[in-house]
Structure 1
């Protein structure tokens, strides 16, 4: 477990520290021992132990005495289900994703923006699936995915600047936009054109066309993409699916207009 713990502000206090520990354990993707958490933590051992015990006592973590490991608890699962119903676009968008998937036969992603990163909230596999990073529930980078760029391009100036500051700008492939300046230049083009492309920027061989899902007031609710591989499609062929993608994004936005979107 080498990933460092999420950073918190001093003003976040004990709650912020506990949530950062919860994030750290959840992101491991498997049960972890206390020593693994400690190795990646910024907290002293006594402080971390106190936070972990509090989370366990509250049901946010579960402890396996046999293996001496911690994992997300059932209370967290209940909260996740409640959040999914109230805060995720997925329940609203489901029938529209089904129809788009049937119409185009390629992989469909539905995403929302989480602190400048892409949270995949739903996915439809292609008729002939291809292996790729994205899965519902996973977090992806905002700066080198089509759906991330589509959403960031349509944020307000302050929100966009904040999102850009949160990017890692690691060059995943030779095509990755690996500087804030390169990303900002493309975001300007995306906002003017209305669509974004992933030109093998996150994964070699994977391309997509993406659009934002916008409220009537222009607020970014989420993003929608059609993804394929260079072995099956070209960017020009994906661009031919633009009308279907834009239509579906508008349908989802209209259906979600009365939904209480979290700010």
Structure 2
């Protein structure tokens, strides 16, 4: 692995995702429901710095003109878009602008959590992330990349299988046995690397160890050459759905090296838990 390059962690995509239309500029309108595709179109529009037309969006996205016309009508009717004086061009509507402004003004919890994650990255020198369980996958809520030249890139919004990630093992360890067994039997335990545990009994044995030790390791189980250590942000009221993790290439950090970062990781998890509790008003 060349240290001058930054390996990209590419996640498997369903065939239906790969077959969706893309335009000449590569903009994608993805989603399994009309609402999801409408949100995807809003993402394309939000990235524009000038007025746009229906025909321009057709050429950019590759979607049929009648479909896009109907979607634009819906967005215009809801105040997310507005028609310009020439009746051909569109621009962002007042409701969409208010949404963006409110998001920026009130996103203090995310900002505070990101600050904790950034301090952890600076302390340990490796990429750090915050995760949550979403169905049978681990969802990356936030991530701070190391500045070291060799790193794996996994952006917020990435999803990884629950059975071969450090955070996923922690989420599984919290579940009652019947719930965990139901999830594992209904989820393909695919071999992502030669180290991936692919049968339920092996996963259960690993989960028992995780439960006893209070942290979890991913020892090149999701990506070759990647090690990870994770803990949960403590929740005194019940199971936690916030994981905090450190990831590094094995060329720079061994399994034993990662264990040395456990105290710093646990401090960060406690700080993030305090932020979470402050964000949720008392009953």
Would you call these one fold, judging by a TM-score over 0.5?
yes
Q: Given that residues 228 and 248 in structure 2 are in contact (C-alpha distance below 8 angstroms), is that contact kept between their aligned partners in structure 1?
A: yes
1:121 is aligned to 2:141: yes
TM-score by length of 2: 0.64
Query: C-alpha displacement at 1:18, in angstroms?
Result: 3.0
Secondary structure of 1:130's counterpart equals coil
The structure-2 alpha-carbon separation of the partners of 1:214 and 1:116, relative to structure 1 and needing over 3 Å to count, comes to: farther
| Structure 2 residue runs without a partner (length 5+) | 1-16, 21-29, 44-59, 82-92
Are residues 226 and 251 of structure 1, via their aligned partners in 2, closer, same or farther at CA, if it must alter by over 3 Å? same
Task: Provide the residue aligned with 2:18 in structure 1.
Answer: 2
Whether 2:266 is the aligned partner of 1:237: answer no
Alpha-carbon distance in 2 for matches of 1:187, 1:223: 15
Q: For 1:221-260, list aligned pairs within 5 A.
A: 221-260=241-280
The question of 1:33 aligning with 2:46 is answered: no
Q: Which runs of 5+ in 1 are unaligned?
A: 8-16, 36-45, 62-72
Bigger radius of gyration, 1 or 2? Answer: 2
Change (3 A) 1:77 1:169: farther
Contact 2:80 2:94 in 1 (8 A): yes
Contact 2:151/2:249, CA 8 A, preserved across alignment: no
Cα distance, 1:152 vs. partner?
2.6
Please report the TM-score for the alignment, with normalisation by the length of structure 1.
Answer: 0.68
Q: 2-side partners of 1:237 and 1:211: how far apart?
A: 16
Query: d(CA) in 1 for partners of 2:100 and 2:183?
Result: 24
Tell whether 2:18 aligns with 1:18. Answer: no
Q: CA deviation digits over 1:24-51, x for unaligned, max 9?
A: 9899xxx64347xxxxxxxxxx9x9999
Once superposed, what is the RMSD of the aligned Cα atoms?
A: 4.0
Displacement of 1:173 after TM fit? 0.8
Matched residues, number: 230
Deviations 1:195-240 (A, max 9, x none): 1111111111010111111311232131011111111111011011
Structure 2 CA distance for aligned equivalents of residues 206 and 143 of structure 1:
15
Q: 1:218 to 1:202 in 2, by over 3 A?
A: same
Q: Structure 1: how far apart are the matches of 2:133 and 2:97?
A: 21
Distance in 2 between residues matched to 1:257 and 1:98, nearest whole Å: 20
Paired with 1:216 and 1:260, the residues of 2 have a C-alpha distance of 13
Q: What are the equivalent positions in structure 2 for 1:13-162 lying under 5 Å apart? A: 17-19=33-35, 32-34=61-63, 90-157=110-177, 159-161=179-181
Trace 1:166-181 onto structure 2 (pairs within 5 A): 167-181=187-201
Provide, for residues 168-205 of structure 1, a one-character-per-residue CA deviation record: whole Å limited to 9, x for no partner. Answer: 32211111122333322212211111111111111110
Counterpart of 2:57? none
- Change in 2 beyond 3 A, CA 1:54/1:166: farther
- 3-state SS in 2 of match to 1:231: coil
Deviations 1:81-136 (A, max 9, x none): 97899899633422321221121111111112222312212112224143324111
